[in-house]
């Protein structure tokens, strides 16, 4: 982790590792779990834990567009600095939404024509890359913007990129008491599967830190990534 922030993967998932209620973009844990009896009762615990995570938060434009930031009214300012990886999901309104919400807002993109380039806000910073390098972006976040620790809450594909590039330091997972299934449904770690023994070095081997038994059959699992 030398030269880059300490990273923690923090997510809510099902017992079978799903981070969405299904394969459709219309379905989302934040929108759907609060309507499901047996899940909604214990869900507030996850959001309470989320409030204790790092003051730098990494997500993707795709996830945030799915949550409606391109249409929502402007939010209140928070003490959190947000980092979004996005090429074509955020509109100019979505960019301004995060400028309003964030202490510092950093956009990582490989799109020279991203709407963010047309926004002028003091707390907006753009990391433009010809070819995406999450490691280089993390190094710049630390060196240029003072980010020492960051919580990763992106989708399964980007989580997979962090894992395969050995960019996770800790894993902090809240497990909801539900089975979702479906091979098309996004999991905690998506992306290319390992198909040969000589790729085993791409696995994330974990050292157990602790388990908290929460109310309503929820649990919290915490690990340090050791390789």
What is the CATH number for 131?
3.40.430.10
**The two three-digit tokens of residue 42, written as one number:** 């214990």
Q: Is residue 54 domain-resident?
A: yes
Q: Is residue 77 domain-resident?
A: yes
Q: Is residue 1 domain-resident?
A: no
H runs (alpha helix) in the chain: 29-32, 44-50, 61-66, 92-101, 134-145, 156-164
Which pLDDT band holds residue 1 (cuts at 50, 70, 90)?
low
Q: Is residue 33 domain-resident?
A: yes
Q: Is residue 168 domain-resident?
A: yes
- Does residue 126 surpass a pLDDT of 80? yes
| Single pTM value for the model | 0.95
Provide the residue range defining the domain that includes 13. 6-225
Q: Is residue 61 domain-resident?
A: yes
Question: Is the CB of residue 209 less than 8 Å from the CB of residue 223?
Answer: yes
Q: Is residue 125 domain-resident?
A: yes
* Count of beta carbons in the 10 Å neighbourhood of residue 179: 9
**The two three-digit tokens of residue 168, written as one number:** 């996770």
Question: Is the CB of residue 174 less than 8 Å from the CB of residue 220?
Answer: yes
Q: Is residue 13 domain-resident?
A: yes
Q: Round to whole Å and give the CA distance between 40 and 19.
A: 15
Q: What is the pLDDT of residues 145-202, one digit of tens each?
A: 999 999 999 999 999 999 999 999 999 999 999 999 999 999 999 988 888 888 898 8
| Number of domains the chain contains | 1
Q: What is the pLDDT of residues 96-107, one digit of tens each?
A: 999 999 999 999
């Amino acid at each position: 982790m030398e030269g880059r922030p300490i990273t923690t993967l923090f997510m809510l998932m099902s017992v079978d590792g799903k981070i969405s209620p299904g394969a459709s973009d219309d379905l989302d844990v934040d929108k759907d779990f609060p309507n499901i009896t047996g899940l909604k009762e214990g869900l507030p615990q996850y959001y309470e834990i989320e409030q204790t995570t790092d003051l730098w938060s990494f997500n993707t434009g795709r996830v945030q567009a799915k949550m409606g930031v391109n249409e929502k009214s402007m939010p209140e300012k928070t003490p959190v600095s947000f980092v979004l990886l996005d090429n074509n999901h955020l509109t100019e309104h979505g960019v301004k939404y995060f400028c309003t919400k964030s202490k510092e807002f950093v956009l990582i993109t490989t799109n020279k024509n991203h709407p963010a380039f047309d926004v002028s806000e003091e707390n907006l910073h753009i990391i433009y890359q010809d070819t995406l390098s999450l490691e280089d972006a993390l190094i710049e976040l630390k060196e240029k913007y003072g980010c020492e620790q960051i919580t990763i809450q992106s989708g399964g594909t980007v989580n997979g990129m962090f894992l395969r590039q050995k960019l996770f330091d800790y894993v902090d997972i809240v497990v909801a008491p539900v089975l979702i299934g479906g091979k098309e449904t996004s999991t905690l770690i998506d992306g290319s599967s390992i198909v040969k023994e000589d790729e085993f070095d791409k696995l994330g081997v974990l050292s157990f830190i602790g388990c908290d038994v929460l109310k309503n059959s929820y649990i919290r699992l915490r690990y340090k990534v050791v390789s």
